Structure 1
């Protein structure tokens, strides 16, 4: 009977076997360790570069701006091409349903709360803590019919979010931590 080590005795096969063993030894980052790392390095504020592809119109819509995390909310300020500010909060009655659905995902991602994400997604991670990637697949079939998956990447913090929608639309967001800007002083009457 031929053993595994005997099969790997030939130099070319030995090289291939060593690659296989090294690949098997590399494991995806532990979800708990990744969650702790992201929570420890979660920025309160940051900037974003966003690119939205609208498949029906074959139109690319780039934008940029900043964000600030609050308790159970997120302020998303678009600075180009148009200045807008939206409060992403479950308490915001004017928040469109699509934003309301994405709010818990965005805040959980920014905070590194994988437990909350695992309540709604199957998560498969890859890489290592310093350079990781994850694929989030919705557990709810109604959500999956609209948003089949979310791809995220990062290091110490979340750096990239890619959403591919069932209708062909795509949303890519690059995030960079930044110092929070102080609130402007109130104007005297």
Structure 2
């Protein structure tokens, strides 16, 4: 009897433990993970592959994110440039990306900035309005593939791949013309927006 009770107890424990162990990592889990910090700064490296020219273009810079406020995207090389994305202009950018009449304009930096803001905000509802989301992996090694739903977006790119762990670490935009934009984020860390460091200073 004690042996049987022990076996039943172990079986019960397995039934309690296994569902949590095999449960797929879900979007709510990822949102919780990405929402841990109200402000984040880091660096990025972009590599753009131009299929027609078989050419690689590389650029580097840094970004600063403040929840419910903005993402400051600063390009350092090969030229200097600075873009500021807010929830309002990110929505406007998303609307323009649905406009077929604007399909020939180069909006990849705006796409990355808008994606970064929506991801850090945990705005999956906004993303799901335009994309089919396929999440796989674990909290320490996750990947999301975004496939555009609208025909206008499918004329721009076939899919977007996101990968990361504690933070978003890689973004790949695969354009319909076979161009690929790869962005790698690194040296990411939380920071205090009220500190003396200006929001557009390069992270140290």
Q: Same fold (TM over 0.5)?
A: yes
Residue matched to 1:10: none
CA deviation after TM superposition for structure 1 residue 106, in Å:
2.4
Q: Which of structure 1's runs of 4+ aligned residues deviate more than 3 A? A: 25-28, 70-73, 88-93, 99-104, 178-181
User: Does 2:36 align with 1:40?
Assistant: yes
CA deviation after TM superposition for structure 1 residue 26, in Å:
4.2
**Alpha-carbon distance between aligned partners in 1 of 2:154 and 2:64, rounded to the nearest angstrom:** 28
Q: Is the 8 A contact 2:85 2:114 kept in 1?
A: no
C-alpha offsets along residues 103-130 of structure 1, whole Å, 9 cap, x if unaligned?
4322112333323211221100111111
Q: Please tell me the root mean square deviation across aligned C-alpha atoms, in Å.
A: 2.9
Residue matched to 1:134: 144
Which of 120, 130, 133 is residue 120 of structure 1 equivalent to? Answer: 130
User: Does 2:198 align with 1:183?
Assistant: yes
**Alpha-carbon distance between aligned partners in 1 of 2:159 and 2:89, rounded to the nearest angstrom:** 26
Q: TM (normalized to structure 2)?
A: 0.67
Which of 57, 63, 75 is residue 67 of structure 1 equivalent to? Answer: 63
- Counterparts of 1:70-81 in structure 2, within 5 Å, are 70=66, 71-81=68-78
SS in 1 for 2:198: coil
Q: 5+ residue gaps in structure 2?
A: 1-17, 97-104, 200-204
Q: 1:51 to 1:43 in 2, by over 3 A?
A: farther
**Alpha-carbon distance between aligned partners in 1 of 2:173 and 2:135, rounded to the nearest angstrom:** 16
Aligned residues: 160
Q: Is the 8 A contact 2:44 2:183 kept in 1?
A: yes
Residue matched to 2:101: none
- Counterparts of 1:10-159 in structure 2, within 5 Å, are 26-41=22-37, 43-70=39-66, 71-89=68-86, 91=89, 98=107, 99-100=109-110, 102-159=112-169
Q: 1:102 to 1:48 in 2, by over 3 A?
A: closer
Q: 5+ residue gaps in structure 1?
A: 1-21, 185-189
Residue matched to 2:174: 164
